[in-house]
Amino acid sequence: MRLKSSIWVKAYVRRCQVAGVSAYIVRHGDDDAGAIFIRINRLDGSSDLFGPAPAGLADLNLERQWMRHGKGDPLPDSEADGMLEREIRFDSDLWIIEVEDREGRHFLDGSIAGELSQLR
């Protein structure tokens, strides 16, 4: 059984804080099953954006899987903003978590779809 979105978000924000990284709930979605998007703000005008992996890419044995938006390189902040705005129009119940980290650490170790391990 998958954790409720609100519980997962609180645990993720706490994980970031333990590492000394600021993380904020920018948009509060549905407590039970809202989709979660994570924006890693590199504080240099660029961001990494992670969203839920499509069902075909997610391993059913894992709790949550994530997909990086873009082609692997950080996106300009304006492009990340546009992607998030489109997602909100599509799903008004989604969560947005913003992490501020110049190193681009996402703390989603081992849960990036298509990658065996992501230890950034």
Per residue in 87-103, pLDDT (tens digit) is: 999 999 999 999 999 99
Is residue 61 a part of any domain in this protein?
A: yes
CATH of the domain at 86: 3.40.1530.20
H helix count then E strand count, the chain = 2, 6
Range of the domain at 59: 5-100
Q: Compute the Cα dihedral for 59, 63, 64, 65 and give only its sign.
A: negative
The pLDDT confidence band at residue 106, using thresholds 50, 70 and 90, is: very high
With pLDDT > 90 as the criterion, what percentage of the chain qualifies? 71
Would the pLDDT of 119 be above 80? no
Is residue 115 a part of any domain in this protein?
A: no
Per residue in 40-91, pLDDT (tens digit) is: 999 999 999 999 988 765 445 557 889 998 887 899 999 999 999 999 999 9
> Considering the entire predicted model, what is its pTM?
0.86
The total domain count for the chain is: 1
Q: Tell me, what's the pLDDT at 99?
A: 98
Q: Which two tokens stand for residue 103?
A: 């190193």
Is residue 83 a part of any domain in this protein?
A: yes
